């Protein structure tokens, strides 16, 4: 079995929110590359945005019950779990979860649901794979994060889950193939070939399940919490990790060199009968008995190792979709700042080279609402020139300020590396520079959205990564420009290089939606990439309704409560 084969990750399809802020009953909230959240004022739209910010905060800091959540100088949520619970009722346990799908998975991991319920005393975790419970754990809040490798939590691998049973069966078949390959060596005696053949038959009939599990459970000290992060909450600890990581077929069962079974190059390997740590003379006695004993041990250890790796992949499969959603977030609140002079720093200039695991922590946070990347500035200026009739023919201008090293040679007190930048606007018609506080308020609110749409939030990844959370992108701007924001969102999630994984927008703009519906009708955007949500306040709680779009870019059902019908009423009455 090739250990390089990994389970391809699925994609997140829904958030699960219950007893959280405006939502009492658990809401199953669709999430697509473009997610537009509509609703009347004070309906609960912001609760969805705050849930994502909370998830990002927990993943970044490991704090489940923070007194305050701050991101890039935004004070987002205060008061801890008591203020997150619906109705601020201590008896209500906030619930957060997500669902994912992966129809193309070759291992049968088709769909999953993960939920966490939180209160001051307990943490309840539940993972459902393919419609059946995989893991359920209730543990005291104060004790479930003990990092000690000797601590055993009240949890064990899912022995009865169909996917787990299928994995055990597949591992035995793979081991049978590897062992059968060993018997093809002309140097293998007929006696050992006969013993190996009997083991292969037993493996193919699944008779070594108990042996593999005995080793697995003996080596594992229990499934433990790695940290308080929402994604990947569980890990598997082993006192024999160094044994499992050793290529046992290469050194113990008899393969000297590299096993090529999974790569299809069997002829490139050389096989000999050799027990690890023993000379050829050690094989001169009861070769058959020694070989049988060794193969039994090999099957248990190697099989346990492969199941361990499978379990790691399964938990990564649960966590990867959420990491993609909240791993890199840029948040633009409803009221974006309007500084006179803006100093920015380009994170791509500060990005270290090398593997991601070797990279240090990201650079210091930028100004909370603004992104500076050279490529984003260049694309934004091209966009402004093309749409000069909408934006007043302005240009983004910046000036680089190279850092000045401090006299103190202490590296911890030296000025940070990279290039700082002052940012302003240039009026092409009047040929003058303007501060952000010298132009129309709408333009100063729109430019942060423009830069965020063109920015590569995760500039380490070539696939879609990063999420733009934006509230009221249409604030203070002309309806025609509101429509163009729809195209900006589409370009951000569909571009060939560094697309954003998600743009999640709380808005009241009908013009933005009409542009997206038009692009669907024209065939340039699939309705599967868009989720339109309507949050409705029922009095004591809010609910989320999906407003699906068809291939013609039309809403399949009418807006609840006559939403967006004000214009028609004004004409007819």
DSSP per position, 358-399: G--PPPPP--TT----HHHHHHHHHHHHHTHHHHTSEEEEEE
Please tell me the distance from the alpha carbon of residue 552 to that of residue 83, in angstroms, as a whole number.
42
Which structure tokens are listed for 487?
Answer: 């195209």
Which structure tokens are listed for 292?
Answer: 């049988």
User: Across residues 188-201, what is the average pLDDT?
Assistant: 83
pLDDT of residue 340: 65
Q: In the structure, what pLDDT confidence band is assigned to residue 565 with cuts at 50, 70 and 90?
A: low
Cα dihedral 540, 544, 545, 550, rounded to 10, equals 160
pLDDT of residue 493: 94
Residues linked to residue 398 through DSSP beta bridges, in sequence order? 423
Farthest CA pair distance, the chain: 103
Which structure tokens are listed for 78?
Answer: 């205060």
Q: Which runs of E-coded beta strand occur in 107-262?
A: 111-118, 122-129, 132-140, 220-225, 234-238, 255-256
Q: In the structure, what pLDDT confidence band is assigned to residue 170 with cuts at 50, 70 and 90?
A: very high
Q: In the structure, what pLDDT confidence band is assigned to residue 254 with cuts at 50, 70 and 90?
A: very low
**Exposure class string for 230-258: b at 16+ Cβ within 10 A, else e:** bbbbbebbbebeeebebebbeebbbbeee
User: Across residues 523-547, what is the average pLDDT?
Assistant: 95
pLDDT of residue 14: 95
Please tell me the distance from the alpha carbon of residue 29 to that of residue 14, in angstroms, as a whole number.
5
Rounded to 5 degrees, φ, ψ at 53 are -65, -35
Please tell me the distance from the alpha carbon of residue 41 to that of residue 536, in angstroms, as a whole number.
10
User: Across residues 172-194, what is the average pLDDT?
Assistant: 81
Q: How many residues does the chain have?
A: 573
C-alpha neighbours within 13 Å on the C-beta side of residue 39: 25
Q: State the pairing for strand pair 394-401/530-537.
A: unpaired
Instruction: Indicate the SS3 state at residue 252.
Output: helix
Q: For 271-292, how does the pLDDT look when each residue is reduced to its tens digit (9 = 90+)?
A: 333 434 433 333 334 566 777 8
Cα–Cα distances in angstroms (integers) from residue 99 to residues 161, 313, 316, in the given order: 18, 17, 14
Stretch among 107-116, 259-268, 316-325, 390-399 having the lowest mean pLDDT: 259-268
pTM: predicted TM-score of the whole model, two decimal places: 0.79
Q: SS3 string of 288-316? A: HHHHHHHHHHHHHHHHHHHHHHHHHHHHH
pLDDT of residue 313: 81
For helices 190-204 and 162-183, what crossing angle results, to 10°? 170
Q: For 354-410, how does the pLDDT look when each residue is reduced to its tens digit (9 = 90+)?
A: 444 444 444 444 567 788 788 898 999 999 999 988 888 899 887 766 554 444 444
Stretch among 91-105, 221-235, 523-537 having the lowest mean pLDDT: 221-235
pLDDT of residue 195: 84
Q: Give 562's DSSP letter.
A: G
Percentage, residues of the chain above pLDDT 70: 66
Q: For 39-70, how does the pLDDT look when each residue is reduced to its tens digit (9 = 90+)?
A: 999 899 999 998 898 888 777 776 666 666 66
Cα–Cα distances in angstroms (integers) from residue 291 to residues 63, 260, 305, in the given order: 52, 22, 21
The alpha carbon dihedral of 279, 280, 285, 286 has a sign of: positive
Q: State the pairing for strand pair 467-471/502-506.
A: parallel
The alpha carbon dihedral of 521, 525, 528, 532 has a sign of: negative
Higher-pLDDT residue of 256 and 76 is 76
pLDDT of residue 105: 78
Residues linked to residue 522 through DSSP beta bridges, in sequence order? none
Rounded to 5 degrees, φ, ψ at 524 are -90, -5
pLDDT above 80: residue 299: yes
Stretch among 207-221, 279-293, 495-509 having the lowest mean pLDDT: 279-293
Please tell me the distance from the alpha carbon of residue 131 to that of residue 112, in angstroms, as a whole number.
7
pLDDT above 50: residue 348: no
pLDDT of residue 262: 33
Higher-pLDDT residue of 353 and 75 is 75
Please tell me the distance from the alpha carbon of residue 569 to that of residue 501, in angstroms, as a whole number.
38
Which structure tokens are listed for 46?
Answer: 């912001």
Q: Across the chain, what does the average pLDDT equal?
A: 75
Q: State the pairing for strand pair 394-401/329-332.
A: unpaired
User: Across residues 170-199, what is the average pLDDT?
Assistant: 83
Q: In the structure, what pLDDT confidence band is assigned to residue 433 with cuts at 50, 70 and 90?
A: confident
pLDDT above 80: residue 507: yes
Q: In the structure, what pLDDT confidence band is assigned to residue 479 with cuts at 50, 70 and 90?
A: very high
Classify residue 357 as exposed, middle or buried by CB count within 10 Å of its CB (0-12, 13-18, 19+).
Answer: exposed
Stretch among 197-201, 229-233, 300-304, 486-490 having the lowest mean pLDDT: 229-233
Which structure tokens are listed for 47?
Answer: 């609760």
pLDDT of residue 482: 95
pLDDT of residue 518: 96
Q: Which runs of E-coded beta strand occur in 93-145?
A: 95-101, 111-118, 122-129, 132-140
**Exposure class string for 164-185: b at 16+ Cβ within 10 A, else e:** beebbebbbebbbbbbbbbbeb
User: Across residues 184-198, what is the average pLDDT?
Assistant: 79
Please tell me the distance from the alpha carbon of residue 204 to that of residue 172, in angstroms, as a whole number.
6
Neighbouring residues of 241: CB distance < 8 A, sequence distance ≥ 6: none
pLDDT of residue 203: 94
């Amino acid at each position: 079995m090739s250990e390089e084969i990994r389970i391809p990750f699925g994609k997140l399809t829904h958030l699960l929110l219950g007893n959280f802020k405006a939502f009492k009953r658990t809401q199953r909230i669709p999430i697509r590359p473009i997610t537009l959240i509509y609703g009347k004022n004070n309906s609960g739209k912001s609760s969805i945005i705050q849930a994502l910010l909370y998830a990002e905060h927990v993943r970044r800091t490991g704090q489940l019950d923070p007194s305050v959540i701050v991101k890039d100088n935004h004070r987002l949520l205060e008061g801890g779990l008591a203020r997150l619970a619906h109705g601020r009722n201590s008896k209500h346990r906030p619930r957060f979860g997500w669902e994912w799908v992966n129809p193309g998975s070759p291992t049968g991991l088709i769909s999953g649901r993960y939920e966490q319920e939180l209160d001051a005393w307990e943490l309840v975790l539940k993972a459902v794979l393919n419609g059946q419970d995989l893991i359920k754990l209730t543990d005291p809040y104060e004790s479930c994060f003990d990092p000690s490798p000797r601590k055993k939590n009240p949890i064990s691998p899912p022995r009865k889950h169909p996917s787990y049973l299928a994995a055990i069966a597949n591992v035995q078949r793979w081991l049978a193939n590897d062992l059968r390959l060993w018997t093809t060596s002309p140097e293998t005696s007929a006696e050992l070939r006969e013993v190996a053949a009997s083991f292969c038959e037993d493996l193919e009939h699944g008779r070594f399940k108990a042996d593999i599990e005995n080793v697995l459970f003996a080596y594992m000290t229990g499934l433990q919490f790695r940290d308080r992060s929402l994604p990947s909450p569980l890990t598997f600890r082993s006192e024999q990790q160094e044994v499992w990581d050793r290529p046992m077929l290469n050194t113990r069962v008899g393969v000297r060199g590299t096993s090529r079974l999974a790569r299809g190059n069997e002829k490139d390997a050389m096989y000999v009968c050799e027990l690890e740590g023993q000379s050829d003379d050690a094989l001169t006695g009861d070769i058959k008995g020694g070989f049988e004993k060794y193969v039994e041990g090999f099957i248990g250890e190697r099989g346990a190792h492969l199941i361990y790796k499978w379990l790691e992949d399964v938990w990564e499969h649960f966590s990867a979709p959420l990491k993609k959603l909240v791993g890199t977030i840029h948040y633009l609140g409803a009221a974006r700042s309007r500084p006179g002079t803006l100093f920015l720093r380009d994170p791509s200039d500060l990005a270290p080279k090398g593997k991601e695991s070797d990279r240090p922590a990201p650079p210091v946070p930028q100004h909370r609402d603004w992104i500076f990347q050279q490529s984003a500035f260049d694309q934004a200026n091209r966009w402004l020139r093309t749409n000069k009739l909408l934006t007043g023919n302005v240009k983004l201008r910046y000036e680089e300020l190279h850092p000045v090293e401090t006299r103190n040679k202490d590296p911890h007190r030296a000025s940070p590396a990279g290039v700082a930048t002052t940012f302003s606007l240039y009026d092409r018609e009047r040929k003058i520079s303007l501060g952000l506080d010298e132009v129309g308020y709408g333009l100063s609110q729109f430019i942060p959205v423009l830069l965020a749409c063109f920015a590569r939030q995760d500039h380490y990844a070539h696939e879609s990564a990063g999420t733009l959370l934006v509230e009221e992108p249409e604030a203070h701007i002309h309806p025609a420009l509101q429509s163009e924001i729809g195209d900006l969102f589409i370009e951000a999630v569909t571009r060939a290089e560094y697309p954003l994984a998600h743009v999640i927008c709380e808005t009241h703009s009908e013009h933005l939606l009409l542009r997206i519906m038009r692009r669907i009708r024209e065939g340039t955007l699939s309705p599967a990439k868009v989720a339109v949500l309507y949050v409705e306040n029922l009095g004591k709680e809010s609910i989320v309704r999906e407003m699906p779009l068809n291939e013609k870019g039309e809403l399949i059902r009418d807006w609840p409560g006559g939403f967006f019908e004000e214009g028609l009423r004004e004409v007819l009455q």
